[in-house]
Amino acid sequence: MAWPWLAGCATHPAPLAPASPLAGTRWQLLAIESMSDEQPTARPAEPARYTLSFGADGQARLGLDCNRGSASWQASPAPGDTPGRLSGNLVLGPLASTRAMCAPPSLEPRLAQALPYVRSYLLLEGRLHLTLMADGGVLTWAPLAPAQQPP
């Protein structure tokens, strides 16, 4: 026997959000740019020591010089993106990392301090630009070549 009045109680799965263009990508740090003249742009001597991988599982994995870290991530695309230029909002969850003292000069403290303030991303000309809140700066990343990818 069918219960027609229960039809209104049926649940329908929510439509899946489109996959983020960041999912499954791996990057190495090129520059930490500040909007303040008091803090110059910093460029790592060895970019592959500073890595960022966006897992399809919503977890970001980080290489922070001699330390390793992870954080949750969530991105939502901006309307009006065009081929070759993708952007949107990006939020990284709390960063958990090892706390070894890296040999100077290390960008680990500056990068670890900046990551919680990431608010948006821009994929343009093969680079990933992560913008920090309140005009705090931009983290610029290049794709990590397969031979450089951490295990």
Q: Using only C-alpha atoms, what is the Rg of the chain?
A: 19
* Contact by Cβ (8 Å): 127, 30: yes
pLDDT value at residue 21: 93
Each of the 151 residues of the chain gets a pLDDT tens digit; together they read 554 444 444 444 443 445 789 999 999 999 999 998 888 999 999 999 999 999 999 999 999 999 999 999 999 999 888 888 999 999 999 999 999 999 999 999 999 999 999 999 999 999 999 999 998 999 999 999 765 545 4
As a whole number of angstroms, the distance between CA 137 and CA 129 comes to: 10
Structure tokens at 41: 């742009």
As a whole number of angstroms, the distance between CA 113 and CA 108 comes to: 8
pLDDT value at residue 18: 54
As a whole number of angstroms, the distance between CA 54 and CA 86 comes to: 16
Mapped onto helix, strand or coil, the DSSP state of residue 115 is helix
As a whole number of angstroms, the distance between CA 111 and CA 2 comes to: 60
Q: What is the CATH number of domain 20-148?
A: 2.40.128.270
Mapped onto helix, strand or coil, the DSSP state of residue 132 is strand
What pTM was estimated for this model as a whole?
A: 0.83
Widest CA span in the chain: 75
